[in-house]
Amino acid sequence: MSTAKKRVNLTIDDDLYDDFEALKELRHESSLASVILDLAREALEINEDLYFSKMAEGRMKEKRYPHDVVWVKKK
């Protein structure tokens, strides 16, 4: 039976495998794949947050305009 999902084959050392197994038991997950997929999603979210944080820091250094100048109602 085929699936629309992509597959990734990983080779990991024994220590890392044991850590994933322990996390699987701790989270009461049914498979290692679900644990690793959850961790991958979390890592992507963290990297996205870091990217946008750096972008925001750069914008904070740009010239700022006071609120009353930006939101002046035109008559």
Residue 47 lies in a domain: yes
C-alpha to C-alpha distance for 35 and 75, rounded to whole angstroms: 59
Confidence class of residue 75 from pLDDT cuts 50, 70 and 90? Answer: low
Q: Identify the helix (H) or strand (E) that includes residue 69.
A: helix 67-70
The answer to whether position 24 is within a domain reads yes
Answer yes or no: is 22 within a domain: yes
Position 54 in a domain = yes
Measured CA distances, 75 to 58, 65, 72 (Å): 34, 21, 9
CB-based burial of residue 35 (10 Å sphere; 0-12 exposed, 13-18 middle, 19+ buried)?
buried
Report yes or no on 71 lying in a domain.
Answer: no
Residue pLDDT, tens place only, 16-73: 999 999 999 999 999 999 999 999 999 999 999 999 999 988 888 887 888 888 887 7
Residue 34's domain spans which residues?
14-62
Q: How many domains would you assign to the chain?
A: 1
pLDDT tens by residue, 8-25: 999 999 999 999 999 999
Assigned domain for 23 exists: yes
